[in-house]
Amino acid sequence: MKIPLSAPDISETEIEAVVEVLRGTQLSRGPKVEAFEGAIARYVGVPYVVAVNSGTSAMHLCLRGLGIEAGDEVIVPSFTFVAVANAVRYERATPVFVDIEPHTLNLDPEKVEAAITPRTKAIIAVHTFGVPAEMDAIIEIARRHSLWLVEDACEAIGAEYRGHKVGTFGDAAAFGFYPNKQITTGEGGVLVTGNPELATRARALRNHGRDEGDPRHQELGFNYRIADLNCALGLAQVGRIEGILARRAHVARKYDAALRDVPGLILPPIELPGKRISWFVYVVRLAESFTEADRDFVADVLRAAGTGSGKYFSPIHQQPAYRNAAVPYPLTVTEQVGARTLALPFFNRITDEQIDEVCDGLRAALEKVKHV
């Protein structure tokens, strides 16, 4: 691709940090893991952080640590990456899909309330595309029904809701640092929590169920460890995270200014009251007069011109692995949005000239749709 969908932002600082680990004696379970955990704890504002090998692993440990088990139901959105539902199924629990708000693309609190049953044990609030979910309403529902609340903040490092960073509202939260995220560890994630018992158990679970300093395995665990190499990279990235987030906000504003007058195109909100968006991706969607085939045609035209794009997200409940999913109510917004969304190239070092080229290509593709 001439203009890729995403690209990591790796500076000499990150390279030097990784080389320093390579010149040392500990590539795994060394001091960089603890240092990275401390940096995330200070940045997010939580007392306990457990670094693992992916955001998916972090979400799985949140659910295992909170006691989610077979027969339980966990409320999740269908308009999100499949990992959140997979983590529920790892514990043989049932993900119950509910609809989203059309503006923020996050869980609709009214739909959450309606989907609660006697078997419901938890709600997973996803901060989709870095936009904070409506936490006040979701927290109130979780407390009233005595449910665990887990935040999927894998796309939202640095996002804020009413002056507090996401990841600090629930009983636990997961962040992810895949290369397309705001900051990266290559592969990796963290579980964050204010619960010391959950943190201690998560540390054991990530290392085959073995407590720190104890050679015995107390319970069935996993190999979810993360290497010092990854944490050294992440530590350097955290050190410049505010500059990275500011740059990504600039890119989002450039797209908004260039595309706001394009007919038939619905743009993401640039600002929301009481919320700070952490820009993970820039996702537009075609108006309802367009079809899913039209969206796919636009993506093909962009690809032919050397411009990357992504169909974020295909609703989970419509995917083959979830053909028997629990869908108690119609997911009208989810299905309408999922058929028409398109992520545009979005990364820290994209230039203004590249943004202009993407926008020109998108306009041309939409014009071709009208004549196909």
Among the options 181, 254, 311, 368, which is catalytic?
181
My answer on whether 158 and 123 are in the same domain is yes
Residue 82 lies in a domain: yes
Domain stops at, among 238, 262, 289: 238
| Same domain, residue pair 233 and 283 | no
Q: Angle, nearest 10°, between helix axes 352-371 and 241-259?
A: 40
Is residue 2 situated within a structural domain? no
Is residue 171 domain-shared with residue 256, that is, in the same domain? no
Q: What's the domain count of the chain?
A: 2
Cα separations (Å) of 333 from 69, 102, 239, 329? Answer: 30, 6, 38, 12
Distance of CA 154 to the CA centre of its chain: 3
Q: Are 175 and 39 in a shared domain?
A: yes
- pTM of the predicted model, to two decimals? 0.97
Closest CA to 136 of 100, 144, 118: 144
**Cα–Cα distances in angstroms (integers) from residue 32 to residues 17, 215, 236, in the given order:** 10, 22, 11
258 DSSP 8-state letter: H
Give domain status of residue 41, yes or no: yes
55 and 172 fall within a common domain: yes
User: What is the CATH classification number for the domain harbouring 82?
Assistant: 3.40.640.10
- 329 and 262 in one domain? yes
5 in a structural domain: no
Can you give the CATH number for the domain in which 269 is found? 3.90.1150.10
Tell whether 284 is covered by a domain: yes
Establish if 3 belongs to a structural domain.
no
Q: How far are the Cα atoms of 62, 136, 322 from residue 325, in angstroms, in the given order?
A: 22, 28, 5
Residues 207 and 300 in one domain: no
Looking at the structure, tell me whether residues 151 and 20 fall in a common domain.
Answer: yes
* pLDDT, tens digit only, all 372 positions of the chain: 999 999 999 999 999 999 999 999 999 989 999 999 999 999 999 999 999 999 999 999 999 999 999 999 999 999 999 999 999 999 999 999 999 999 999 999 999 999 999 999 999 999 999 999 999 999 999 999 999 999 999 999 999 999 999 999 999 999 999 999 999 999 999 999 999 999 999 999 999 999 887 888 999 999 999 999 999 999 999 999 999 999 999 999 999 999 999 999 999 999 999 999 999 999 999 999 999 999 999 999 999 999 999 999 999 999 999 998 879 889 999 999 999 999 999 999 999 999 999 999 999 999 999 766
Contact 64, 296 (CB under 8 A): no
- Tell me if 331 sits within 8 A of 78, measured CB to CB: yes
Single residue among 205, 238, 271 that ends a domain in this structure? 238
Last residue of a domain, one of 207, 238, 269: 238
Domain that includes residue 342, residue range = 241-371
Long-range Cβ contacts of 31-37 (<8 Å, 24+ apart):
31/228, 32/228, 32/229, 32/231, 32/232, 32/235, 33/226, 33/228, 33/231, 35/231, 35/235, 36/185, 36/231, 36/232, 36/234, 36/235, 36/238, 37/190
Whether residues 224 and 78 share a domain: the answer is yes
User: Among this protein's residues, is 181 annotated catalytic?
Assistant: yes
Same domain? For 367 and 286 the reply is yes
What end-to-end distance do the CA atoms of the chain give, in Å?
25
Q: Is residue 6 part of a domain?
A: no
